Structures are given as C-alpha cells and as structure tokens.
Structure 1
Amino acid sequence: MDQFYHEVACAACSRLRRRCINACIMRPYFPPGDDLNFINVHFTFTNNNVERWITLRETEEQKRDLVRALKWEAGQRLFNPIEGSYAVCMRQRQRITELNAQVQFLLMMVDHFNQQQ
C-alpha cells in the first residue's frame, strides 16, 4: 500500500528524522514549527510513550487535552527540574489555605459587626 507523505514534516517527524506520513498521529498536536514543544515533551516523556498515550485516548478532545497537559508538564519540568508541576500544585494549595484563612477572618468580622448593631 502506498503511503503519502506530507511535503513539510510535523515537528515530531522532523526532530526524529523520519518521513511524515498522512496517518502521522503526532501531526495534529505538533505541527511544523512547534519544535520546541515537541523537544520538551520528547525529552520528558519519550516519543514512544506519547504516541502510546495518544492512541489510548478515544476522542479527539481527550487527545488534545492529553497533549496540552504533557506540554504543560514538560514546560514545568524544564522550568523547575526538581519539583516540576508538584511545585505549582503546592503553591496553589498554599494560596487556597491563605484565602480560606482570609474568608474565615472576614466572616468573623461580619459576625462581630452584626452583633454590635
């Protein structure tokens, strides 16, 4: 069976030095020119894992969400190689704790104000 090749390879095929066929599963998520995102994802998760994870998803929306999450995670690991996205989660948890304390303080102030009237 003849395979048709894209004139310009997607970022994944370009970086892996292979021909980009019409059935390339990476092309929709790593179009030509998106080399930096692919390099980060490939370095963090390896191409075989990414391809396997994409094929395991059923809908196109799930696949897009997966690749978006992988790009974000790879970017976080590039920015902070030790903690990666864990650091972001911990900062958000800390912020939620601080906001909850502020809400409790404000509720206490409102209650105190209502009792004085």
Structure 2
Amino acid sequence: MGGNSPCASCKLLRRRCTKDCIFAPYFPSDDPHKFAIVHKVFGANNVSKMLHEVPVQQRANAVSSLVYEANARVRDPVYGCVGAISFLQNQVSELQMQRAVAQAEILCIQMQQQVDDVPMVQQLSVPTVSIKKN
C-alpha cells in the first residue's frame, strides 16, 4: 500500500510496494496466504495482466474468483473448481430425486387418509319379495 506496509504480493515477491501497485487493494499484507496460493497457481504476471484487463469496479470479484479457483486447483489438481461444481450438481440431482420420492410418499399417505375417511358403504339389504300362491 505504498511504503509503510507492503502488500502480500510485494512482500512475497520481495519488491517495493508502490502507491499504484495493482495488487495492494486486493492482497493485504495481513493475509499473505491469499496471494501465495493465487501466485502458485496462476503466476504474478498473469494475475497482473488479468487485473489490468478487468474494470476497476469488478476487480474485487475477479480476485475472489481467482482465490476460489486457486484453492480448488490445489485441492483437486486435475479438475479444480469444475470437480467441485460437478460434485455439487450431482448432490442437487440426488436431493431432487429424494424430494420427488418424498412428495410421492406424501401424496400416497394423503390419498390413503382420504380413503379411510370415506364411510364404508353399508351393505344394502335388498328386500326379498315372496309371492304367495293362492
């Protein structure tokens, strides 16, 4: 942040942090792990280029995405955040299926209750007619 306390990027890269440092607003010195993981996965030059291409008002969101993607890539080097997204999509599908089964069970129970509430049709006694012969 320009002089007194270098940002996490400048501290890690052992550079002097200038007042126009692109990393300073997003990688404070009190959270060095945040930049370290992004640097490890993407590289400082690539991150700098990306941040310069993004409008200033969207840079904080871009950094959040980079940090998320870098953490996901460290956890799962092959699939990264796509693996996490796929896992969550599968979980949503399973939960939707469980919900459909539960709704069907509820419907069956409600229908059974309606059947139980209907009074039984009493057997009608059909009068028998007897014909008398005279």
TM-score range, shorter chain: 0.7 to 0.9
Residue 67 (str. 1) matches residue 63 (str. 2): yes
Shift of 1:114: 2.9
Shift of 1:99: 0.6
Q: How does 1:47-66 map to 2 (within 5 A)?
A: 47-60=44-57, 62-66=58-62
Structure with the bigger RCO (C-alpha within 8 Å, sep 6+) is 1
Residue ranges of structure 1 left out of the alignment (5+ in a row) = none
2:27 and 2:3 map into 1 onto residues whose CA distance is 14
Q: Whose helix fraction is larger, Structure 1's or Structure 2's?
A: 1
1:11 and 1:73 map into 2 onto residues whose CA distance is 18
Larger radius of gyration between Structure 1 and Structure 2 = 2
The percentage of aligned residue pairs carrying the same residue is 31
RMSD: 1.7
**2:100 is matched with which residue?**
104
Following TM superposition, where does structure 1 have runs of at least 4 consecutive aligned residues deviating by more than 6 angstroms? none
- TM-score between both structures, scaled by the size of structure 1: 0.85
Residue ranges of structure 2 left out of the alignment (5+ in a row) = 115-134
- TM-score between both structures, scaled by the size of structure 2: 0.75
